[in-house]
Structure 1
């Protein structure tokens, strides 16, 4: 490997010079790379020397674009049998968030500053006019969305590295460069779930349950007292309900394309005890359905209900009927604000279930340990449980506990 200065004169008589790195790549092929400054040529030569020695070097002429790497990443997911919803998400990220900005950039040209510039572009550019979700068109991308897209870009680069098409993963480098202070600062700014804002209060759930009726009652009652994910709810079969023991066995899930598969993780396969009124409600539903129906919460055709069907026709109308609402900007004919459901997604009921497991028995909860909460929710690790719900656990040094300890100490 050598670094030499090249000098020449243009047809117009202008003297020019450049620094050329002359080297052989990992396959033994001769490569030439030109720089305007010697320090840049020396820096490249030093890096390339190590990469060639380790067998990971990829020359610019052998590199592929981000768009091409994105296609390979999607193909990898398809070959691994990922759910269709996950594949579709990958395609959206590549098509609407990545390719329009850096699709033509060679992987070998990506760096940490380039990734930061890409994030700035995402922040400054609204969702395109042809974005699938109409309500998002023209709106700015949130910080959370930018983070998700950056993670996808990192996964694309990681896949390219495994294929020998990329030397570096600047997204991973960015993550490693964050020091402990930065991570602690991010942790302090992490928004915690708030009871009454993100999590329904016991009074709101009381009103909500009383407002449930018809075929929606067993569906939503089950979510409130089992915390099932939407996909688990859709995948629940009658063979998974133990009427004698009063338990629901989570053994499969059904995605938005009505494709059945195993639970989200090994921990997702679990048994959940439920109160008698849930079991009684399910018994009534089974009698109404008759024989030959596999899924507990089937639609009139015997197929699994869609997520939007449960939310828009079941959850939200029940919230409004129960008076668990918030005012919107819309006005009715009398000039009064139109009310909408305060909690618009099934995950709010899952959050309530978690809080019910955590709350003290004196407060109407079950007082479970963090480990038991993790098992009931089907989280793959207790870290996830504590990250989301850790702040809800009662402290052992407040209220009566603190007074009792002080009295014993000072007796």
Structure 2
């Protein structure tokens, strides 16, 4: 039977010390002890421990693993479940650079929501809000995995968040119509089809690099996203169920793809936008050797500044920097669909978002329609007074 008793002793300095000892038996019947400075803390802990013992979820401090141990289990579980190489690398970085150095030695049985809150505050002092949010979410997933395996009774990080305002997120950057036209006009025959699909179908870079001819229906004027290529060039499924989708494409895009299919390098993967050997294009190479030079050629660029002045190359010409990443072309597709009054659900599906809230957060500011709003208000006024 569990009990709480008072302990009094004299320290080496001759000072009288007091503590409260919880004496209880764990789920296996082993006798355990836990000491507290205050009786009310001992009472509260015993109430929780007794409930955990009754459910078979209690872990004594001496038997508890550390946050580092739990993080290692989390990473190994991801590897065993064949998560993408890039995802596992990200998990390891979050573990090794942010979680283990700050909280890795803490035992799961001693971890509490206030301690996780303090960990979050420590992160915010030394990391960006975005990184702090990623780390806290990773800790929650680590504890969730530990809870499923019976190493801890509850996930005390589940409700700890890093609040980010809309100002922190920033708005998407969308190329102008003139910039988009310049990119299409200046792209060579081998790059133009990829640029057009990026602009008019809104695919992610990984989806463009993994797109197969088998997933393009030139007769039906659609393309289907059924796989993607990660940053290491490995082909795998889309990152979420929402990634699987079919998108209609315009006649000019179909015509460009028909032309390109006759010239496209052949490979075992049947890719629509492969490298010269028919394999997966390296993302870094694609950007540095093809997309960025195209932007400079098309004038979609800005000068690199050094001490407030344009940096010059050996020939005395200004060094230019490409203005956009491939993701900005994806945003261009979404903005064009919105301009044509696409409904929100269809936008979510075509862009491949997991939920409508993400779509609203990303593109909600583009959906303002002053003329439409005015017409709606006038119609509502007339309806109410009819």
* TM-score, normalised via structure 1 length: 0.83
Check the 8 A contact 1:193/1:199 in 2, yes or no.
no
Tell me which of 206, 210, 213 is aligned to 1:238.
Answer: 213
Check the 8 A contact 2:265/2:274 in 1, yes or no.
no
Q: Return the offset for 1:277.
A: 2.6
Q: Return the offset for 1:14.
A: 5.1
Q: Return the offset for 1:90.
A: 0.7
Q: 1:173 to 1:211 in 2, by over 3 A?
A: same
Residues 179-223 of structure 1: CA distance to partner in whole angstroms, max 9, x if unpaired? xxxx7xx555453525xxx12122221222222124222222211
Tell me which of 148, 153, 159 is aligned to 2:134.
Answer: 148
Q: Return the offset for 1:369.
A: 1.0
Instruction: State the alpha-carbon separation in 2 of the partners of residues 404 and 336 from structure 1.
Output: 57
**Structure 1 alignment gaps of length 5 or more:** 126-140, 360-365
Check the 8 A contact 2:265/2:277 in 1, yes or no.
no
Establish whether residue 80 from structure 1 lines up as the match of residue 68 from structure 2: no
Q: Return the offset for 1:258.
A: 2.6
Check the 8 A contact 2:265/2:275 in 1, yes or no.
no
Check the 8 A contact 2:189/2:260 in 1, yes or no.
no
Partner of 1:342: 323
Tell me which of 202, 214, 220 is aligned to 1:227.
Answer: 202
Instruction: State the alpha-carbon separation in 2 of the partners of residues 201 and 290 from structure 1.
Output: 32
1:79-118 to 2 correspondences below 5 Å: 79-118=80-119
Q: Return the offset for 1:10.
A: 5.3
SS at match of 1:174: coil
**Structure 2 alignment gaps of length 5 or more:** none
Q: 1:404 to 1:28 in 2, by over 3 A?
A: same
Check the 8 A contact 2:113/2:160 in 1, yes or no.
yes
1:5-404 to 2 correspondences below 5 Å: 5-9=6-10, 15-125=16-126, 141-175=127-161, 186=164, 189=167, 191-194=169-172, 198-289=173-264, 294-330=270-306, 331-332=311-312, 338-343=319-324, 345-359=325-339, 366-395=340-369, 398=372, 401=375
What is the RMSD of the two structures over their aligned residues, measured on CA atoms? 2.8
Residues 265-323 of structure 1: CA distance to partner in whole angstroms, max 9, x if unpaired? 33322222222332232233222236556111111121110222222222222222222
Instruction: State the alpha-carbon separation in 1 of the partners of residues 220 and 356 from structure 2.
Output: 27
Q: Return the offset for 1:100.
A: 1.1
* TM-score, normalised via structure 2 length: 0.88
Instruction: State the alpha-carbon separation in 2 of the partners of residues 218 and 151 from structure 1.
Output: 38
Q: 1:271 to 1:144 in 2, by over 3 A?
A: same
Q: 1:309 to 1:6 in 2, by over 3 A?
A: same
Q: Return the offset for 1:167.
A: 2.4
Q: How many residues align?
A: 378
